[in-house]
């Protein structure tokens, strides 16, 4: 058994935060995707809290998680149907 000294693995907190952030964003984008689809398919409306803020955040910060990237581009394509967004997907 290896004993760790205090503050030896302080970077683990940052890594845990990054994983939590990525997971949370994936779940949120998945929900946004479903809501956007339902809005168009079934003519219903949702109050998509923080949608613009999250999309602006994702515009600025680049992630390397493929699932997050795909959801991000799907939503961008749904919002702005053009060749650029389609090719990015």
- 47-86, pLDDT tens digit by residue? 999 999 999 999 999 899 999 999 999 999 988 877 876 7
Q: How far apart are CA 10 and CA 22, in angstroms?
A: 20
Give the mean model confidence (pLDDT) for residues 23-46.
Answer: 94
Query: Alpha helix (H) ranges present in the chain?
Result: 11-42, 51-60, 66-79, 83-88
Between CA 83 and CA 42 the distance in angstroms is 25
Phi/psi at 62 (5° precision): -95, 130
pLDDT of residue 80: 82
pTM for the whole structure = 0.82
Q: What are the sequence ranges of the domains in the chain? A: 53-89
- Report the candidate in 69, 86, 88 with the shortest Cα–Cα distance to residue 29: 69
Q: Band of the pLDDT at 3, cuts 50, 70, 90?
A: low
């Amino acid at each position: 058994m290896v004993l760790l000294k205090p503050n030896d693995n302080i970077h683990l907190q940052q890594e845990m935060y990054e994983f939590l952030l990525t997971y949370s964003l994936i779940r949120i984008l998945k929900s946004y995707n479903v809501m956007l689809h339902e809005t168009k398919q079934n003519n219903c409306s949702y109050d998509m809290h923080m949608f613009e803020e999250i999309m602006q955040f994702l515009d600025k910060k680049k992630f390397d998680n493929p699932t997050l990237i795909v959801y991000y581009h799907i939503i961008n394509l749904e919002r702005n149907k053009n060749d650029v967004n389609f090719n990015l997907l």
